Structure 1
Amino acid sequence: MTIKKCCILFGVCLAFTLNAQNRIPEVEALLQKMTLEEKIGQLNLLTPGGGVATGEVVSKNVEAKIKAGQVGGLFGVAGPEKVRVAQELAVKESRLGIPLLFGSDVIHGYKTTYPIPLGLSASWDLDLMKQAAQMAAREATADGINWNFSPMVDIARDPRWGRMAEGAGEDPYLGSRIATAMVEGYQGNDLAAAHTMLACVKHFALYGASEAGRDYHSVDMGKIKMFNQYLPPYKAAVDAGVASVMSSFNDVDGIPASGNKWLLTDLLRDRWGFEGFVVSDYTSVNEMIAHGLGDLQAVSALSLNAGLDMDMVGEGFLTTLKKSVEDGKVTEEAITNACRRILEAKYNSGLFDDPYRYLDSKRPIKDILTVENRALARKLAAHSFVLLKNHGQILPVKKNQKIALIGPLADSRNNMLGTWAPTGDTHLAVTVLEGFRNVAPNATIGFAKGANIADDPIFAEHVNVFGPRIEIDERAPEVLVDEAVQLALNSDVVIAVVGEATEMSGEAASRTDISIPESQKILIRALVATGKPVALVLMSGRPLTIPDEYELPVAILQVWHPGVEAGNAIADVVFGDYNPSGKLTATWPRNVGQIPIYYSAKNTGRPAPESGEFQKFRSNYLDAPNSPLFPFGYGLSYTTFEYSDLKLDKETIGQDESISVTVTVTNTGNFDGEEVVQLYLRDVVRSITPPKRELKGFEKVFLKKGERKEVTITLSPNDLKFYNGQLEYVAEPGDFEVFVGTNSDAQLSKSFVLK
């Protein structure tokens, strides 16, 4: 295949043919011209500051380093004008004119923020997720960004870990499907298109399994568990063609990920065939010193030799690699290979043809925060909400009632976007109070704060690093509660908006107590004591422990942190303009003592009775049941669904055969609605202990009230496979059991045999 390209770096048009190694001739020609120092410079990712830092270091003398060819990319710079200034420094004033990559953390939308990823995953709607990523890419590229540090696909089963907010929850199958959708949404089918961007899957690997749920902590895990439960979403992203991978902060088998050759080369490149480039997380190379692996030169050499291509912010590569070459600790060939991968990414992004291709000054107005984008954000939010309880069918609320809207999050603009929304603008967020007035203009809506998010000023100080998220009222807590109670007594229904401030979850936001803060618990109890119907609108970036609230006669609608259209979307669901269809993607524990908790756990040799009855010398607790408060896949609707007539198209299949599972779903309630039909598989006997069941398929269907549909989900041969004791990906002959239903506790089942 011969392709003609015009490369401004060389001032000539080159015709080339991809060789057997898929090398790009322009890149190879450029590498021949580069000095060792210039190659090392391409491995250096800096931030001049101004954005949200995730470490203590901000780069210095950035302009001079760009001119000297010592920078491969920047992040924390946005806007066509600002990006152009930096790009011109590289293209016009460095010796070889190599353009820069411009990265950003576009985690859940750019300017048009949508729900946090954990919330978005609760929609179980892959097409909507892909649309969300496409919208984020359009907006970010309009502002000059061409590289996104997303998606985050870490499996997380400990909700004390704040970064659970950034991922898709606990399940490797669902996480893999979402990883694919997000990569395809960001990158499209042409990385050089002006509206697509390089994706960066993170954090490779196992970051979601940090010990004690504490951020940046160690991870201790065997390879069978890695391959079967934690690695699949990363591999799915690689299989989807993700352009880059970010290494994680934690260690893997005792070696930090950023310097782990087994992880970055043996697994990622040799076994999985990844051809893109690997970037460190923020100063994670330097942080290997604290891990105990040597000085900056030693850990930088270790990282490069392991397969790390780009050093984020730490500048260890920039300041030590030349000496390591002289000392024989790294080879120039290893530096060249790393440089090649970064240059290839720039080539694939079209930057060699036009370094300014993402810098159209007309695009921001045309593509950012448009009416269409905000409408999509509103839809994404509404589809992410999970109805946890609906005592007395309190929800939906009629629009002509006298409503008491109460709670510290009911009129808190600063807490709508959610954690890790550095490119969003809190001033543009729609509060819940505003949304109620927009959607129900004929309702009488009274507002009272009712409580502080938390009363502890030290805790508030920890949370408010990026601005006021917990604002402690000058009035006494008792005064706030009394005001709310009086409003409730004079209203028909109470909507209490409670939960976490945005920065109570997210990076460096681990919590040992994941219940609703006591200030809000007091408020909730006081509101219920009025005897008025009470619905809790619950905001959080993680599963919470809410057994006390669940026992109260209330409705509970989990809305995560919904994004810029938060208030409108919440009002859409509370008032019944949209029937909630979200399903949990992480198990909700009764208390922190159950953590880690997840649906696909294995049986022990002494399993507790399925009835939940306590028996001595069985695997159970003395003081609580084993079962969670809400299982994985759980979510109610304003209507009800009935499952029946489960059928398999075969009773026995061969190794290369698929099997189709069909079930009839009927809307038996009084509202039209959507249901997520979930299929779980149990491998009854195999060579390594199997999970009780694993998600292997799902389909979201819309049913009008009274409507009945047959839903068919097909299991492929790969759906029956797992990594055995030798890490071979196999399906072993034997009995399998299929479960289909509305959550991971589905009881409708059939069996088949694999030959």
Structure 2
Amino acid sequence: MTNQKLESLLNQMTLDEKIAQLLQLATPFFEGSDNEGQITGPLAGLKISDEVIANTGSVLGASGAKEINNIQKAHLRKNRLGIPLLFMADVIHGYKTIFPVPLAIGCSWDLKLAEKSAEIAAKEAAVSGVHVTFAPMVDLARDPRWGRVMESTGEDPYLNSQFAKAFVRGFQGNDLQNDVNRVAACVKHFAAYGAPEGGRDYNTVDMSERQLREYYLPAYKAALDEGCEMVMTAFNTVDGIPATGNKKLLRDLLRDEWKFDGVLISDWGAVKEMIPHGVAEDEAEAAEKAILAGVDIEMMTACYPNNLKQLIESGKVDEALIDEAVLRILRLKDKLGLFGNPFRGADEQQEKELVMSSGHRQAARELAAKSSVLLKNNRVLPLPKDKKIAVVGPFAQNDDILGPWSWLGSKEEAIQLYEGVQNKVASSLLVTAKGCDIGTGTEDQLNEALKAAREADFIILALGEDSEMSGEAGSRADIRLPEVQLQLVKKMKQLGKPIVAVVFNGRPLDLHGVVEDVDAVLEAWYPGTEGGNAIADILFGDVNPSGKLAMSFPYSVGQIPVYYNSFNTGRPKDAPDAQERYVSQYLDIPNEPLFPFGFGLSFTTFAYSEPQLSAGHLTPEQPLTITTEVQNTGKLAGEEIVQLYIRDLSGEVVRPVKELKGFKKVFLQPGEKVEVLFTITEEQLRYHHSNLEFTSDNGKFHAFVGPDSQDGKAIPFELIK
């Protein structure tokens, strides 16, 4: 449709019909849904009329071509103007074929595979009838106590921005209207949801606007620059105002400054939650603040349908704001081609052929292997295939490897660790035992595990968190493994056998009690549908691990937040004239994390030459290049992620000790050497000053090229403008 036709459609709508377009309801409200009529508990409390449902604009959580087509058919029979529904869902790291959780994908540093994972998720979702996914989540995460770090790609604004763009490209493609295999993306949660006080979900966020712009906003902006169609508001406050009613954040910054003209949706219930936040007296005031701030769609509360008409009649809200919001929703429906074909790509037959296809599973297997991070290896990995192996621990035969937000993922169809190992080693060489449950254990379980381990030459110890221990509302104050698992580690250690710990989890953990007592540690995260096969590929050397941490692992929870791009302080511990006590330090633990951002081992080794600069300075017109030679000095082919960091030695405001500015992946055969080149531009040296101006300063800098955020010699250069 032309914009003129959409405006004509808008002009035909009554005020009640327009307001209903601004509401999103869950599947049970709609005729044709599989659980139609089962509206109980909190859903029943919404008290939504049949007339409002008949004019509602979008649906949350429907799945499958049959159900979605049935709902759409029934809706079109009732809707006076024949306006189709938008179907939205949480397709976070896969629809049915589940990929590793996003934090794990971040550890792959593989933008092409990340894009491919989103493309596959979009294909499966689209053929099943979904139009919009509530992804990517690009919230910067520095506190692993927060359960939703698993849904982020880590602690760095540059890396998060690159993944944000990759996911949007994968979900949306280049032509949403004609490519029915793609879905619209919705970046979330705007803004700064990843910085709740105490790491407690939904909690207060309090930071300066300069910090917000410097670290937390770039990834949202990157997603929008890539063409992301929707934005979801955050649950938290920003500068003392809940994001969903924050006019400065949503109208002034998102709409006016960034020129975003797409659809803005609240998170579940966030409009009404302004009442307990303490900025709205009742639902009417919550509706008023949300619409004035620019929220187009209210998800799963009824403040809009129950109050907007009265607010307009009383003069508190201009009907033009309603028209703007409805027109944005109509434009998205048109961009998805729904006015021409309300059923879009939903196809029951193709759904059976495409969803969970072998090609999709193979891609999930590849990404799971790339996302795993080898944290320790005392020459025990890769394992031999002709020795007896005990697979022990609560995750040895546990199907809980999909992780949170694996909405339609099938645990029954997921490859468990033991099954993956079975695909590599003769059954006669394998024994397995649980040892304990996730958080509890019995003496019989322990004795069974000890018996199995005594029979083996090597022990694979499968440990981790239950998926309910992370994800939304999964905040934890103690981020060690449960004590029963740590006791299992100690008992296995006493047998004197080589031990490989494989850890399944959704957050960086305090791995003390594990890392000291085992010979190798493989961080597997929640690896998804093909997890067992992917891990076995690594354990037995068919794949050489290449993952690098996208988020630091703390030495202790007392360090948190601990992140690589921190400030130096006026009394740094490593200063040449530092006093023994009066420096910024802990008395009982190191300042540094247990494993830093960017860290990850390989089965081979890589040597870096001293980096060389093309010149001693750069200007806005003339960038410089920095090169280093990387050589595979080991006996196996492997992939290395070469990382570029820069430090601004003196800024108008304090600058971080290092900032990631680039990375490149190189695959090298044994003995092979390659030159890796990075370009450093004036634009990369810009930052937000105290007046929020985004610019660079003349002065001295250091560049670092190395395998992680801690290694790499400082190479000086200067910016001259």
Sort the TM-score into its range (normalised by shorter chain): over 0.9
RMSD: 1.8
Asked if the contact 2:246/2:293 (under 8 Å) is kept, the reply is: yes
Structure 1 position 122 matched with structure 2 position 107:
yes
Structure 1 position 682 matched with structure 2 position 647:
yes
Which residue pairs with 1:371 in the alignment? Answer: 358
Counterpart AA for 2:120: M
CA–CA distance in structure 1, aligned partners of residues 587 and 637 of structure 2: 43
CA–CA distance in structure 1, aligned partners of residues 258 and 72 of structure 2: 34
CA–CA distance in structure 2, aligned partners of residues 581 and 478 of structure 1: 38
SS at match of 2:431: strand
- The CA deviation at 1:137 is 0.2
Q: Deviations over 1:95-136 (max 9, x none)?
A: 111111100100100000010000011000000000000000
**Ranges in structure 2 where 5+ consecutive residues have no aligned partner:** 29-33
Structure 1 position 417 matched with structure 2 position 427:
no
- The CA deviation at 1:746 is 2.2
Residue 215 of structure 2 is aligned with which of 212, 221, 229? 229
- The CA deviation at 1:751 is 1.7
Asked if the contact 1:67/1:89 (under 8 Å) is kept, the reply is: no
Counterpart AA for 2:6: V
CA–CA distance in structure 1, aligned partners of residues 363 and 436 of structure 2: 32
Q: 1:358 to 1:309 in 2, by over 3 A?
A: same
CA–CA distance in structure 2, aligned partners of residues 84 and 311 of structure 1: 23
Residue 708 of structure 1 is aligned with which of 665, 673, 691? 673
Residue 197 of structure 2 is aligned with which of 190, 211, 217? 211
Q: 1:643 to 1:57 in 2, by over 3 A?
A: farther
Which residue pairs with 1:739 in the alignment? Answer: 704
- The CA deviation at 1:416 is 1.1
- The CA deviation at 1:540 is 0.8
Which residue pairs with 1:47 in the alignment? Answer: 26
Q: 5 Å matches for 1:252-263?
A: 252-263=238-249
Counterpart AA for 1:582: G
Which residue pairs with 2:330 in the alignment? Answer: 343
Which residue pairs with 2:685 in the alignment? Answer: 720
Asked if the contact 1:202/1:248 (under 8 Å) is kept, the reply is: yes
CA–CA distance in structure 2, aligned partners of residues 481 and 99 of structure 1: 58
Give percent identity, aligned residues only: 45
TM-score for the superposition, normalised by structure 1: 0.92
Which residue pairs with 1:180 in the alignment? Answer: 165
Residue 139 of structure 1 is aligned with which of 124, 141, 151? 124
Q: 5 Å matches for 1:625-640?
A: 625-640=590-605
Asked if the contact 1:67/1:94 (under 8 Å) is kept, the reply is: no
- The CA deviation at 1:721 is 1.0
Asked if the contact 2:489/2:517 (under 8 Å) is kept, the reply is: no
**Ranges in structure 1 where 5+ consecutive residues have no aligned partner:** 6-15, 17-23, 456-475
SS at match of 1:38: helix
Q: 1:199 to 1:712 in 2, by over 3 A?
A: same
CA–CA distance in structure 2, aligned partners of residues 282 and 621 of structure 1: 41
Residue 569 of structure 1 is aligned with which of 534, 541, 553? 534
Q: 1:657 to 1:640 in 2, by over 3 A?
A: same
Residue 299 of structure 1 is aligned with which of 286, 289, 312? 286
- The CA deviation at 1:85 is 1.6
SS at match of 2:108: coil
CA–CA distance in structure 1, aligned partners of residues 25 and 640 of structure 2: 46
Structure 1 position 167 matched with structure 2 position 146:
no
Structure 1 position 498 matched with structure 2 position 442:
no
Residue 198 of structure 1 is aligned with which of 184, 202, 209? 184
CA–CA distance in structure 2, aligned partners of residues 65 and 141 of structure 1: 28
CA–CA distance in structure 2, aligned partners of residues 443 and 134 of structure 1: 41
Structure 1 position 326 matched with structure 2 position 313:
yes
- The CA deviation at 1:501 is 1.1
Residue 694 of structure 1 is aligned with which of 647, 653, 659? 659
CA–CA distance in structure 2, aligned partners of residues 614 and 383 of structure 1: 43
SS at match of 1:660: strand
Structure 1 position 604 matched with structure 2 position 569:
yes
Which residue pairs with 1:238 in the alignment? Answer: 224
Residue 752 of structure 1 is aligned with which of 692, 710, 717? 717
Counterpart AA for 1:207: Y
Q: 1:92 to 1:168 in 2, by over 3 A?
A: same
Structure 1 position 37 matched with structure 2 position 16:
yes
CA–CA distance in structure 1, aligned partners of residues 99 and 263 of structure 2: 28
- The CA deviation at 1:532 is 0.3
Q: 1:62 to 1:107 in 2, by over 3 A?
A: farther
Which residue pairs with 2:255 in the alignment? Answer: 269
Q: Deviations over 1:409-462 (max 9, x none)?
A: 11011x11111111211111111111111122366110000111102xxxxxxx
CA–CA distance in structure 2, aligned partners of residues 240 and 613 of structure 1: 46
Which residue pairs with 2:298 in the alignment? Answer: 311
CA–CA distance in structure 2, aligned partners of residues 510 and 590 of structure 1: 18
SS at match of 1:751: strand
CA–CA distance in structure 2, aligned partners of residues 613 and 492 of structure 1: 49
Counterpart AA for 2:265: V
Structure 1 position 451 matched with structure 2 position 445:
no
Asked if the contact 1:405/1:496 (under 8 Å) is kept, the reply is: yes
Aligned length: 709
TM-score for the superposition, normalised by structure 2: 0.96
CA–CA distance in structure 2, aligned partners of residues 662 and 684 of structure 1: 21
- The CA deviation at 1:479 is 1.9
Structure 1 position 87 matched with structure 2 position 72:
yes
Which residue pairs with 1:730 in the alignment? Answer: 695
Q: 1:534 to 1:303 in 2, by over 3 A?
A: same
Which residue pairs with 1:472 in the alignment? Answer: none
Residue 60 of structure 2 is aligned with which of 60, 75, 87? 75
Which residue pairs with 2:235 in the alignment? Answer: 249
Residue 380 of structure 1 is aligned with which of 355, 367, 373? 367
CA–CA distance in structure 2, aligned partners of residues 582 and 245 of structure 1: 30
Q: 5 Å matches for 1:382-531?
A: 382-391=369-378, 393-413=379-399, 415-441=400-426, 444-455=429-440, 477-531=442-496
CA–CA distance in structure 1, aligned partners of residues 577 and 369 of structure 2: 35
CA–CA distance in structure 2, aligned partners of residues 496 and 62 of structure 1: 52
CA–CA distance in structure 2, aligned partners of residues 140 and 446 of structure 1: 39
Counterpart AA for 1:40: I
CA–CA distance in structure 2, aligned partners of residues 295 and 67 of structure 1: 23
Q: Deviations over 1:627-670 (max 9, x none)?
A: 11001000000111111031122222112433222111011111
Counterpart AA for 1:573: I
SS at match of 1:541: coil
Counterpart AA for 1:135: I
- The CA deviation at 1:65 is 4.5
Asked if the contact 2:65/2:346 (under 8 Å) is kept, the reply is: yes
- The CA deviation at 1:478 is 2.0
CA–CA distance in structure 1, aligned partners of residues 22 and 713 of structure 2: 54
Q: Deviations over 1:573-630 (max 9, x none)?
A: 1011000000001111111100011000001111112699982111011111101100
Residue 102 of structure 1 is aligned with which of 76, 87, 90? 87
CA–CA distance in structure 2, aligned partners of residues 360 and 62 of structure 1: 31
